[in-house]
Chains A and B, each alone.
Chain A
Amino acid sequence: MSSAATSPPSVDKVDGFSRKSVRKAKQKRSQSSSQFRSQGKPIELTPLPLLKDVPAAEQAELFLKKLQQCCIVFDFMDTLSDLKMKEYKRSTLNELVDYVTVSRGYLTEQAYPEVVRTVSCNIFRTLPPSDSNEFDPEEDEPTLEASWPHLQLVYEFFIRFLESQEFQPSIAKKYIDQKFVLQLLELFDSEDPRERDYLKTVLHRIYGKFLGLRAFIRKQINNIFLRFVYETEHFNGVAELLEILGSIINGFALPLKAEHKQFLVKVLIPLHTVRSLSLFHAQLAYCIVQFLEKDPALTEPVIRGLLKFWPKTCSQKEVMFLGELEEILDVIEPSQFVKIQEPLFKQISRCVSSPHFQVAERALYYWNNEYIMSLIEENSNVILPIMFASLYRISKEHWNPAIVALVYNVLKAFMEMNSTLFDELTATYKSDRQREKKKEKEREELWKKLEDLELKRGLRSDGIIPT
């Protein structure tokens, strides 16, 4: 998307010797929701009697009137305006929350469109621009929604409505439709974590009760993720959406539909490439493991996907990948393990020899995992030759003594597993290295020849050397 709202780098921001979190005074920031276009005039609402004070027969109508009053939204950035009316709306909303929780028989057919309208008027809004251009969810305090005193009650009310025993999806589906869901999903980009938490519950309820919307919801989440991965790298609600998906995946019927497999391979795996992975990695890994528990045959594409997107420069992410991989290996079937062990251990061997000791350490911890150890033992004839050169070299030259100690243990374990192969590899270590070097030299020569040729031909085609 357009980098709307980029202003030139300001001299104000760049004096950066301290970490952002230190620099920024812990001021409480809040933001209005881009919907108040200077209405100016004070708002007047005529106070209505309490629902409990009127006869039961009149309650239904009064309920509708109250809903209509609550459609009015107030400007909370202006902390002084309409104080009385804001308080009135707050108490009315509170009353409505209690009313839908305890009352019976209030949900007439006319109430449905009014409830949805009230909720829509209050929660649907264009989210305001982020306060800082480079909002970093790990470092910066989120901007809180100024109208939360009302907004929270509206969400609360809506959830009670959806959960109410009298709630009938067959009527509600006329009003809670695709358009409604689409707007709801856009709100997941809210910076306010409290709002996202409510949204999560709301969406979960809708997914549970409206079977007709399920495919649509999944598809739209797909689109949000794809946009997040390939276009903007910015969306605040990824973790919340993944959390919902975790339980959705849990409920998938077997055998898995092609649509679901595609979602795994084309959406969930690429989510690993995003810079802010740490913010939703736990939820993402949970989804992945859910898939594999459903259908072990997906193990190979998943691991190949992770290997394809393995972080090149970000050690922190590498540690996360290793953690996720261990979760996967915990549930892997031996038959699947065999299919993937070669590329997998080539990567692990690179991690083990990482100069970043946390990466090396995380990888070496695999050897403390009994199940993984048993898999390695069964396949030591394949894995040992892949790992040996790295381990041998690190045991001699890694800068970190803790890593060297861990590597000794691993080597010892291998020696006990398969001493014949181990001795063989130790014996041929030197000659193998020499062979590699020779090959390397041959490569270099090949390229040199090719370049000479290019030069010669280039000259010739320029007409300098006649053919």
Chain B
Amino acid sequence: MSKMAGADGDDSLYPIAVLIDELRNEDVQLRLNSIKKLSTIALALGVERTRTELLPFLTDTIYDEDEVLLALAEQLGSFTVLVGGPEYVHCLLPPLESLATVEETVVRDKAVESLRKISHEHSPEDLEAHFEPLVKRLASGDWFTSRTSACGLFSVCYPRVSKSTKSEIRQHFRTLCSDDTPMVRRAAASKLGEFAKVLELEYVKSDLIPLFAALASDEQDSVRLLAVEACVSIAQLLPQEDLEKLVMPTLRQATEDKSWRVRYMVADKFSELQKAVGPEITENDLVPSFQNLLKDCEAEVRAAAANKVKEFCENLPADSRETIIMNSILPCVKELVSDTNQHVKSALASVIMGLSTILGKDNTIEHLLPLFLAQLKDECPEVRLNIISNLDCVNEVIGIRQLSQSLLPAIVELAEDAKWRVRLAIIEYMPLLAGQLGMEFFDEKLNSLCMAWLVDHVYAIREAATCNLMKLVERFGASWAQSTIVPKVLGMASDPNYLHRMTTLFCISALSEACGQEITTKQMLPIVLKMSEDQVANVRFNVAKSLQKIGPVLENSALQAEVRPVLEKLATDQDMDVKYFAQEAMTVLSLA
């Protein structure tokens, strides 16, 4: 890196004062721009002056707008090369240390992130001599901000320092876990898992478990719920025989916490917890806990638990899986189907179909099918949508025919829902449904819906309907297209509403490739060409756009003989947009 050093003669061109003036500009925006290009400035100064002049300046003038500080904190994280490489990386610590103490969380977090990044570039000696003392200073700072920042730095230096320093770090962490301010305790709790991972197992047991238990019974629920997150990492680290004694009391307490936020967190992390504690504890402890969460008095908790139903069942031990599901889980699930809260029902609907692969054909038909059917009739569209969007799982197990009787009314109702976003969502599942229901069923029941969407009064629906047709043709093939949809699409070309005439053009653009040369040339092209006479300019310039799109599908002779004259004429249109798009099409098709 020394070749980048200040030895180059041209450095003198840029006296530091000029550059620092830029960093001091009165206008925040300009100051921000300058900070964002700090690496350029450092490069101009060379590594030595960056170390001796720029960094001290930055350290001293750290009172600025948070946005500027954020940019600075980020820049410094990748500054190692600019100060002369790993050997000098500790020069970056003073400004980052100040940044790690500011009030604004995003700045502080960014400073910590940069500190973590450059910690790896320190040699073990430098880490001990420069980095670790910084962590200690932060950990014993007066104002809570520096202490919260310290929490994020323990785990990066712990593995690489001497034994005695390690013991000091553990002591600091312990102190912060019982800090006076909840902000610091929250920071410590959120880093508990990460710190546990770098600690020696004996210290996890002797040091961290008591801290974990204490944080998990903190007076503030915002601290307790973070301890739940740590629970996963800690349980992963401990041997199975210690879990019961060291982790389970705390976890049990959390699943019954009086604050719904804590219970929510347990529900949200349930699959991870399940994997971390292993099959035996799952069977004895987690199954009843999970049942309670599914029956929780807060809808938020029930919804979080409902989301985990499939994953939880999947991860149950194979030998007892079916019994547990049938005896313990399914009864709760049945109740959730008629929950009073729509978020709960919709969370359940998004995973419930997945149970069929786990339970197999007979159980699915007997026990799950009634639930699917009930959810397909739910008053809330989101629930119905979630069921429909997961049909593939059931299809594999029992075939979709079992459902089709109820499916159809549900689809029709969603297709006509007053909210266009609901209609949009169901359109997006059409290709999937078509694949599963088969062409015959589709033609009979659903084709008319797909055509009706083409004349929806919301553009987004018409657009999605166009795209849907293309996917259907890709699935069912060109001859299906020719017999079922092309005539209807082309029929709209003479509709009195110009928006519908444009839809014809959009469809042609979308379908030509899937339909192939013959259909495009013989059936679609004449219609497009005819529409170039339309009196609405928007239709005319869409003709130009469509021609550009379908051109590559056509044979060159058709292009020259039929497309060229029309585009040439459009290129002299009175309307400037029509002209523009006609010219563009000619250029793209090499007709110009």
Contact = CB atoms under 8 A, between A and B. Distances in A.
B261 A15 contact: no
Nearest to B14: A450
Given A4-B264, A179-B219, A230-B105, A446 B22 contact: yes
Nearest to B385: A11
Contacts of B183: 223, 226-227, 230-231
A393 interface: no
Contacts of A1: 222, 225, 261
Contacts of B261: 1-2, 4, 126
Interface string B219-250: 10110011000000000000000000000000
Contacts of A449: 13-14
B422 A270 contact: no
B40 A450 contact: yes
A116 B303 CA distance: 36
A78 B324 CA distance: 32
Contacts of A308: 65
Interface in A259-286: 266, 270
Interface string B261-299: 100110010000000000000000000000000010111
A11 B419 contact: yes
Interface string B417-442: 00111100100000000000000000
Interface in A1-49: 1-2, 4-5, 7, 10-12, 14-15, 34-38
Task: Give the one of A4, A126, A457 with max B CB within 10 A.
Answer: A4
Nearest to B423: A11
Given A4-B300, A37-B297, A230-B105, A126 B221 contact: yes
A270 B66 CA distance: 12
B410 to A, nearest CB: 15
Interface residues of B, number: 57
A196 to B, nearest CB: 19
B225 A10 contact: no
A12 B381 contact: yes
A460 interface: yes
A461 interface: yes
A443 interface: yes
A12 B22 contact: no
Contacts of B18: 446
B157 interface: no
A129 interface: yes
B347 interface: yes
Interface in A219-240: 223, 226-227, 230-231
Contacts of B264: 2, 4-5
Contact of A7 (B103, B347, B381, B421): B347
Contact of A467 (B3, B39, B380): B3
A454 interface: yes
B178 interface: no
A15 B420 contact: yes
Contacts of A140: none
A56 interface: no
B425 A11 contact: yes
Nearest to B67: A312
B300 A454 contact: no
A446 B181 CA distance: 48
A241 B1 CA distance: 57
B382 A12 contact: yes
Nearest to A467: B3
A11 B422 contact: yes
B43 A38 contact: no
A460 B421 contact: no
B44 A266 contact: no
Contact of B297 (A7, A14, A34, A451): A34
A223 B185 CA distance: 12
Contact of B225 (A2, A230, A266): A2
A457 B265 CA distance: 51
Task: Give the one of A15, A126, A270 with max B CB within 10 A.
Answer: A126
Contacts of A10: 342-343, 346, 382
B303 to A, nearest CB: 6
* Dominant SS among interface residues on chain B: helix
Given A34-B297, A453-B43, A12 B260 contact: no
A286 B182 CA distance: 28
A12 B419 contact: yes
Contact of B381 (A11, A38, A467): A11
A242 B4 CA distance: 56
A467 B143 CA distance: 49
Contacts of B268: 2, 4
B259 interface: yes
Interface string B17-37: 010001000100010000001
Nearest to A307: B65
Contacts of A457: 4, 43
Contact of B265 (A4, A231, A446): A4
A453 B181 contact: no
Contacts of B104: 230
Given A2-B225, A12-B380, A450-B40, A226 B144 contact: yes
A450 B347 CA distance: 55
A182 interface: yes
A135 interface: no
Nearest to A36: B297
A296 interface: no
B258 interface: yes
A447 interface: yes
B413 to A, nearest CB: 14
A128 interface: yes
Given A11-B422, A223-B182, A128 B298 contact: yes
Given A126-B260, A451-B40, A34 B22 contact: no
A182 B299 CA distance: 27
A4 B342 CA distance: 17
B297 A38 contact: yes
B72 interface: no
B382 A453 contact: no
A362 B221 CA distance: 43
B383 to A, nearest CB: 10
Contacts of A5: 264, 300
Interface in A439-463: 443, 446-447, 449-451, 453-454, 457, 460-461
B219 A443 contact: no
B100 to A, nearest CB: 14
Task: Give the one of A7, A14, A36, A231 with max B CB within 10 A.
Answer: A7
B366 interface: no
Contacts of B259: 34, 126
Contacts of B295: 38
B235 to A, nearest CB: 19
B41 interface: yes
A223 B225 CA distance: 18
Contacts of B444: none
B458 to A, nearest CB: 11
Contacts of A179: 219
Contacts of A346: 26
A454 B8 CA distance: 13
A15 B14 contact: no
B319 interface: no
Question: Which 5 A-B pairs give the minimum distances between C-beta atoms?
Answer: A5-B300, A4-B264, A7-B343, A126-B259, A230-B105
Interface of A: 1-2, 4-5, 7, 10-12, 14-15, 34-38, 126, 128-129, 179, 182, 223, 226-227, 230-231, 266, 270, 308, 346, 443, 446-447, 449-451, 453-454, 457, 460-461, 467
18 contacts: A1-B222, A4-B261, A12-B342, A34-B297, A38-B295, A129-B260, A226-B181, A227-B183, A227-B222, A230-B104, A230-B183, A266-B143, A270-B103, A450-B37, A450-B41, A454-B40, A454-B43, A461-B3
Given A2-B225, A129-B260, 17 more contacts: A2-B261, A4-B225, A4-B261, A4-B264, A11-B382, A11-B421, A11-B425, A12-B381, A35-B258, A126-B260, A126-B261, A226-B183, A227-B182, A443-B22, A449-B13, A450-B40, A461-B1
